[in-house]
Structure 1
């Protein structure tokens, strides 16, 4: 993947983290999955949900798909707590240069280094770029 594409994606991800109701940080998960591997992309998103929820310490979560809610677009997902539907994470799945990148963002109260390392250890992940 080119430096320009990485830089553009990093800059756009950083803009999503602008101050709002809660302080957010994020990771760009660069995968080895191509546009034909939708099932594997879904499985990776489910695995990342478990990693992020564990690091966030908010208990069990479920994934709400963008196509389930008119406030979101397709390929946009949220991890919400089972107990009270509290925000845990949100992501967009993007096909860039023939491979999927998943942009995750979540509350800034996690150990970002450890979370990024655990995401990088998942199957089908090429590398992870942290976005403070």
Structure 2
């Protein structure tokens, strides 16, 4: 992936973390998955859900798909807690230069570095860019 595309994606991700109701942090999970590997991308999103929920101390969570809710677009997902449907994370799945980048936002109270390290260990992850 070119540095220009990386810089643009980082800048756009950073803008989405601007102050709101809750303080957010994020990361870009650069994958090795091509545009035809939707099932593998879904499996990776499920694995990332578990890692983020664990680091956030939110307990068990489930994934709500964008096409299930008119408040979201397709390829936009949200992780919610099982207990009370509280926010855990939100993501967009983007196809860039032939591979998927998964942009995640979550509450800023996690250890960003430890989270990024754990995400980088998952199958099909090329690298993780932290967005504080």
- TM-score, length basis structure 2: 0.99
Cα displacement string for residues 14-56 of structure 1 (whole angstroms, at most 9, x for unaligned residues): 0110000000000000000000000000000000000000000
Structure 2: how far apart are the matches of 1:41 and 1:15?
25
Is 1:12 the equivalent of 2:16? Answer: no
Q: CA deviation at 1:110?
A: 0.3
Cα displacement string for residues 55-86 of structure 1 (whole angstroms, at most 9, x for unaligned residues): 00011100000000000000000000001000
Structure 2: how far apart are the matches of 1:81 and 1:124?
25
- TM-score, length basis structure 1: 0.99
SS of the residue corresponding to residue 22 of structure 1 reads coil
Aligned residues: 132
Structure 2: how far apart are the matches of 1:67 and 1:100?
19
Q: CA deviation at 1:102?
A: 0.1
In structure 1, runs of 5+ residues without a counterpart are none
Structure 2: how far apart are the matches of 1:115 and 1:105?
12
Structure 1: how far apart are the matches of 2:73 and 2:116?
25
Is 1:34 the equivalent of 2:56? Answer: no
Name the residue aligned to 1:64: 64
Structure 1: how far apart are the matches of 2:20 and 2:121?
30
In structure 2, runs of 5+ residues without a counterpart are none
Q: Which runs of 4+ in 1 moved over 2 A?
A: none
